[in-house]
A and B are shown apart, each in its own frame.
Chain A
């Protein structure tokens, strides 16, 4: 979590990753952090939503766009948001990008695959907001 978004500016995008224990969860986390550092949006804590910390839950509700990166088809991050009635999301599942859970390993190239897919979704959402 590195930056707060002011709603006075452009439509704010929040980014959340499942950050799961498996390699695909780690890749999801690394991609989300890179996106946040590159100012594509602001990463925030999924655990805070799961814990029902009001600031995280209300930020998720108030976000114009939320990009969710899940490692595997269990889609824990998307389901956690759904638990607080946040269902309008952009969604990337790492295993749908040709990366196999438990076998893909951690590399810059694998992070880049997720990063690029996420950037495509963010661009589409920017277009649809205009």
Chain B
């Protein structure tokens, strides 16, 4: 599973990356965490508000940082 964190590196982006990683570990997933910071790449997803979380290219949430428990639901 490829977990992509879309954002330019702001505090919420960092928090989302940390919480997504925690969620993936707690679920025992095999994953690769990728930070997408290039604006053109982010726009290619159709994302207009960062931070955003995508799984295998499919955007699951944008513009907010869900709780670890909610991220787990998005990763399942």
Main secondary structure of the interface of B (DSSP, over half): mixed
What is the bound-complex CA distance between A53 and B62, given in angstroms?
13
Size of B's binding interface in residues, CB under 8 A: 24
Q: Is the CB of B58 within 8 A of A62?
A: no
Q: In the assembled complex, which residues on chain A have CB atoms less than 8 Å from the CB atom of B59?
A: 54-55, 57-59
Q: Is A109 an interface residue (CB 8 A)?
A: no
Q: Is A119 an interface residue (CB 8 A)?
A: no
Q: What distance in Å separates the Cβ of B74 from its nearest Cβ neighbour in chain A?
A: 10
What is the bound-complex CA distance between A56 and B49, given in angstroms?
9
**Chain B 35-68: CB-based contact to A (< 8 A → 1; otherwise 0):** 0000100110111111110100011111110000
Q: In the assembled complex, which residues on chain A have CB atoms less than 8 Å from the CB atom of B62?
A: 55, 58-59, 61-62
Q: Is A105 an interface residue (CB 8 A)?
A: no
Q: Is the CB of A55 within 8 A of B10?
A: no
**Chain A 41-54: CB-based contact to B (< 8 A → 1; otherwise 0):** 01011001000011
Q: Is the CB of A59 within 8 A of B49?
A: yes
Size of A's binding interface in residues, CB under 8 A: 23
Q: Is the CB of B43 within 8 A of A1?
A: yes
Q: In the assembled complex, which residues on chain A have CB atoms less than 8 Å from the CB atom of B48?
A: 1, 4-5, 14, 42, 44, 55-56, 59, 63
What is the bound-complex CA distance between A58 and B46, given in angstroms?
9
Q: Is A10 an interface residue (CB 8 A)?
A: no
A contact set with B: CB distance below 8 Å: 1, 4-8, 12, 14, 42, 44-45, 48, 53-59, 61-64
B contact set with A: CB distance below 8 Å: 7-8, 10-12, 39, 42-43, 45-52, 54, 58-64
